[in-house]
Each structure stands twice: as structure tokens, then as C-alpha cells.
Amino acid sequence: MDNKITYKTLLDFSNGKYSYNEYLKVKHWFTKVKDEGKVEEQLFDQWKGFANHADTKSLHPIFEKIQYDILLEEKRNEKKNNIWLYYKQIAAILIPVLALSASLYFFTRPSQTTTQAWLEINVPEGARIEFVLPDSTSGWLNSGARLKYPAEFTQHRKVELVGEAFFNVRHKEHSDFTVGVKDMNIKVLGTKFNVAAYANEPVTEVVLKEGKVEINSTTKAFKQILRPGEKIVYNRETKSLNTTSVDAKLYTAWKDGYLVIDNEPLEQAARKLERWYGAEIIIQDEKLKNLRLKATFQEESLEEILRFIAMTTPINYQIGNREQGSNGILKKKQIIIKLKR
């Protein structure tokens, strides 16, 4: 197999334009340079090739993707577990490389009797990723989400989530399934539901699509049963709990590539846009932060969404140029939003 990898091959790989043979070629090359201890040298050389092109993207996510694929394969052979992680690109016009930059980590946790292997999926901003767990429970992880789960489930199946995820839990007799988020546990037997628990958001939301879930505070302050079409919102700052009836489809549309802003303050919508597009949004006027927005987008660019918001609200915006950091990685695109004068 030819060991030479051109910058175009890596660029195509980062854009999701590659055949299975090309994937094997990139993977074989990475394995070889890793064994020879030349990863950083090769990365630097390839980066110089990329730096001369205006549409460059950081090579680090590409190398991470290959590295974690290799690690996953090694662990799969060791553990003989059927663990799959699917990378699916949603709205290629919007996020041409982001779905490939998720990372998968392996680590261990000591228990009372043995050391258990755990896995962690980290999704970069701008990507949505489909996953299947060892028990065949499936789902989606939204931008900036992190999911930890054991390589082998016991009778009591538990995962830990930061961010947003949709779960389709496989029912197993006498085997419950629990999603742990900050200050809350969501216990199910078999159901479909959405959880949003980002670290930079003050609330945790759970929306039930099918089945039934039991929600418990980790401090035992409350216990709530949720039924289909209901949403529970727990405010971690005020410790308040609120349950309402909603259209569950609005809260799960993100996994199908729809960005739904449902009567949300601009400040909250901006954080959603930051995660969706991997940008940094600064709202300069305090009075704009509580401006309410309601819209649904699919396959629009960030610039198109900003133009729409500017047409329907009293705002102006300015998009800054992406700058290259000292490590060679492009910084996030910065958007300044101000009151229209």
C-alpha cells in the first residue's frame, strides 16, 4: 500500500469525501507514522500544505478521528464487545467536517470488586452524532455533548450525560436504564426521550416521546413521573421544577438536522447557535438578551440565519474573520450582535 498521503487526501477526508479504500489508506499511514514516532512531524508538514489554502481546517480532528478508530478496534478485539459508533454528517452544507471530529476515549473506574472499563464520546460544536450502546440502546448526541458509558453493562444500566441527547432505550426485563445528569437521574425501562443538560445552561430539560420515565433528584428533593408529550424543566440555580405538555417533535427535531428556536430569549438562542455552528456570539446590548425569537431552520448557514434575525428584529451584527492561533488551529468565528441604531 502506498504510504504517501497528500494534503488533498486529508482535505477530502475531512470533508467526508472518501471511499473505504481511501479510509484504509489514511488509517494505514497514521498507524505507520505513529509506530515510527513521527506523528507530530508529519502533522506539521501536512499543516504547512494546508496553510497555503484559504479554506483550511484544523488537521487535529482528523488525526483524533483516526486515532480513536484504531483504539476502538483494539479494544473491540480485547473485549469482544459489539460497540458501534456511527458518524453521520447532518446538513453537509452547514457542517462539512464537524461530524468527523468526535472523539472516543477509553478509561477505567474502580468498583468495589473489579475495575470496569468505561468509554466516553465527546461531540465537537457543530456536529450531531448517532450512537449504539453495547445493549443496543441507540440515540443521538447533539453539539458539545459528552456521554460516558461502561464497555459492558450490568443488570443496572447507567450512563452519564453532559449536553443534549436523544435516547431510544432497548427494553430488557429486570434491567433498568438510568441517565445521570447534574443533580438528576432519569430512570427508564424502555422508552424514547430527549435530555438537554449543558453545563453552561442553568436548566435541565427532559422531554418524553414514548413510554414512561422516573426522574429523581440526586439530593432526594423530588421524584417525578413523566408521561409522553410532557416536559420537565429543573432549574439548578433556583432548585425549582416545572412540568408542562409540549409537542415532543420540536425537541427531537435537532437529530434530523432542524434547528428549532421556540420562543427563546436571544441569549439562550445565541448559545444554541454557538453549539450548532461552532462560533462565538457576543451580545453587546443587555436589553437584547431577553429579546424573544421563534423560528425553525434547516440547511441554512449561520450568516443566513443572522440575516433573517436582523430582518425581523432590531439588531445589527458583525462577523469577524477567523484567525489562526499560535498552535496553527483556526479560532472560532466571532459574531458581534448589537442594537440597531
Question: CA 182 to CA 180: how far, in whole Å?
Answer: 7
Q: How far is CA 197 from the centre of its chain?
A: 12
Question: CA 158 to CA 305: how far, in whole Å?
Answer: 38
* 228: pLDDT strictly greater than 60: yes
Q: Report, in this order, helix, strand and coil percent for the chain, each rounded to 5.
A: 30, 35, 35
**Roughly how many angstroms between the first and final C-alpha of the chain, as a whole number?**
62
CATH number for 207: 2.60.120.1440
Regarding whether 264 and 226 lie in a shared domain, the answer is no
Regarding whether 263 and 233 lie in a shared domain, the answer is no
If one compares 298 and 53, the residue with the highest pLDDT of the two is 298
Mean pLDDT of 201-224: 88
Regarding whether 209 and 261 lie in a shared domain, the answer is no
CATH number for 335: 3.55.50.30
Is 62 within the bounds of a domain?
Answer: no
Least reliable range by pLDDT among 71-80, 118-127, 242-251: 71-80
Is 299 within the bounds of a domain?
Answer: yes
Q: What is the pLDDT of residues 56-77, one digit of tens each?
A: 344 555 555 555 555 544 444 4
Regarding whether 295 and 262 lie in a shared domain, the answer is yes
Q: Which domain holds residue 44?
A: 1-56
Is 327 within the bounds of a domain?
Answer: yes
CA torsion sign, 259 to 214 to 132 to 149?
Answer: positive
φ/ψ bin of 332: left (φ > 0), alpha (ψ from -120 to 50), beta (otherwise): beta
Regarding whether 268 and 324 lie in a shared domain, the answer is yes
| Contact yes or no for 252/239 (Cβ under 8 A) | no
Q: State the pLDDT at residue 65.
A: 53
Mean pLDDT of 192-219: 92
Regarding whether 310 and 186 lie in a shared domain, the answer is no
DSSP per-residue letters across 47-92: HHHHHTSTT---SHHHHHHHHHHHHHHHHHHHH----EEE----ST
Is 174 within the bounds of a domain?
Answer: yes
For residue 314, the one-letter residue type is P
pLDDT-derived band at 266, boundaries 50, 70, 90? very high
Which phi and psi (to 5°) does residue 154 adopt?
-95, -165
Q: What is the DSSP letter of 99?
A: G
Regarding whether 150 and 125 lie in a shared domain, the answer is yes
For residue 257, the one-letter residue type is G
Query: Per the structure, how many domains does the chain have?
Result: 3
For residue 5, the one-letter residue type is I
Q: What is the pLDDT of residues 78-103, one digit of tens each?
A: 443 333 343 333 332 223 333 334 44
Q: State the pLDDT at residue 341.
A: 80
**Averaged confidence pLDDT in the chain:** 77
Read off the pTM: 0.67
Question: CA 186 to CA 206: how far, in whole Å?
Answer: 9
Q: What is the pLDDT of residues 280-329, one digit of tens each?
A: 999 999 999 999 999 999 988 999 999 999 999 999 999 987 777 777 67
If one compares 23 and 124, the residue with the highest pLDDT of the two is 124
| Beta strands across the sheet bearing 333-339 | 279-283, 333-339, 315-319
The pairs formed by 241-245 with CB atoms below 8 angstroms and a separation of 24 or more are: none
Regarding whether 265 and 230 lie in a shared domain, the answer is no
Is 71 within the bounds of a domain?
Answer: no
Cell of 165: 441527547
Is 106 within the bounds of a domain?
Answer: yes
